[in-house]
Structure 1
Amino acid sequence: MATTTDTKNYKFNHSMLRVKDPKASVKFYEFLGMSVVKKLQFPDAKFDLYFLSYDSPKALSHGNSTFDREGVIELTHNYGTEDDANFKVNNGNAEPHRGFGHVCISVDHIQAACQRIEDAGYRFQKKLTDGRMKHIAFALDPDGYWVEIISKMIGSKGADDPEEKGQQTDPGTYRMNHTMIRVKDAEKSLKFYQDVLGMNLFRTVEQSAAGFNLYFLGYPGSKGVPENGFTADYEGLLELTWNYGTEKDDSFKYHDGNAEPQGFGHICVSVDNIDAACSRFESMDCNWKKRLTDGRMKNVAFLLDPDGYWVEVVQNERFAGKENF
């Protein structure tokens, strides 16, 4: 394994969500075409982890080891929540606990994909036909987390696209495209994710009339930076949502998902050499939730981004030649 670190080798590996009932949640994400690529059980600590990823032969990360992927969703189940009638996760979209927004899948034929989800009995926060934006939808997973659905087809008009009529959908072609978090100060957050974590800014969407901007960041990898700004065929992107003016309000703060009420837990970046990467972060005066040397788990670390969201750092197994767990 190399003794140095290069952010060009980093991957936005996963986003972690706490779930009430793992059977229901795994079933939902498998219905969306994902597969459980790893399950970790910690009975002494009374929790299990389920790592789901697109893994069909058409998937970008097909066949890779768990931490050599992008666009993974990690579901965390704390024993007993499934039997607790009062347990409910914070989905990150209800005041006063907003922060995390959604995960997003991109699909081949959006009308057929949304109809398939509806036919299976799953609920929607926003159907394709709702509102003015006819090209996106938001399904709800069993815990009420929002799952955005977008089209991989350039120029798709979604509900208003006649070419979508009568098409069939193949979940094996889907991507886990991005994870959205709200940020207080766009400038500070962009600097952190670009300068510290080495991500590239792929696309900026300015919605000045509505008072917010969207920033899509990711690691170029073998696909490179999108030349036309079209990012729907990528996996493992990070969307930052900035509402104008929040940076000027000293009392304003987003919910990180780890304070009560809990829900979203963290995002995770896998690196080529975890010791060298953490030494680099140390030299950049980063804020830590957990250093490698803290606690019992000596193979994971957690940084804090400018909003206090947790960013896990793990070893990419391809560079180490062995599994992390």
Structure 2
Amino acid sequence: MDKLISSKQNIQHVPESYILPPERRPGKVVIPSSKCIPVIDLRGNTDRQELVQRIMKACQDFGFFELTNHGIPEDLMHDVLKVAEEFIQLPVEDKANFYSDDPAKKCRLYSSIDHDQEKVHFWRDSLRLPCHPLEDFVEEWPNNPARFREVIGDYAVRVRELSLLLLDLIREGLGLESGYFEGDLSKTHMLNFNFYPPCPDPSLTLGLPKHSDPNLITVLNQGAIPGLQVLKDREWIAVEPIPNAFVVNIGHTLQVISNGMLRSGDHRAVTNAFVARTTIASFIHPSSEYQIQPANELINGCGIPLYRPFPYLEFIRNYIKDTRDGNPALKRYELSQA
């Protein structure tokens, strides 16, 4: 529990173990870029084909888009962040049962990314909760604050439904058969609650380093405090929060299934010196045993597979090591086109 950065009081200077090498530091606080990721109105566009085309273009060009008019109530978007903040503000003893250094523990409160294996730590604490099927896991979740299970449970069900809807629109854009992303391919659903306390010097550290997500699709509730940045053409673009909007990005798994038609976008989280920031990321994963490979429909005929098949669990284990070492996570699975 002493590793939680959110539990430390009156930090006047960034501890040495959090100071990144000069080449990895974000530098001075980035002024929001004039560029921005695409914004897509989910239910305001009545032309489904046009909606699919806009989502596909965003996923091809950026791997990211902001989603408005998505159907999840505004009060729930706020309540889920408030309940998460109430949890992290609890006394240490009230959170102790959930803290663990074991990455295999499903319901887990931890600090940074892989605290005991890292050379440098990141300015973030996180609570990870499995969410599907809800009845299998909800009793393992925190019950303090009193509303935690009710609010998070409602949110988890709704955001999973939204994620599957987005995957179906992407399926249509790729020309895959109906139901392609159902079943074991979208079996696992996790919520990550990310807590970024104020940092004495944001130019020295990061909340999360440059990375792409390993899963199928991520739906992020980033609240009202900026901090997410997306890499585009070697420039970091600050993703400015839009009220009641989600940030959506595709992961490495979907890049492989699309045979490179879609891209998993690099991103990072910067800190700030003034206010705490809380975000909630929803991750849709395949089952551990699922064999990831380019969809047959995209390689039959004249298509050439860009990636070899691999079990998802193997990929996750390599992803953790490759990301920690700064190596491209998909490199070892690429097929030579020579």
Band of TM-score, shorter chain: under 0.3
Higher normalized strand content (fraction of residues)? 1
TM-score normalised by L of structure 1: 0.25
**More helix, by proportion:** 2
- TM normalised by structure 2 equals 0.24
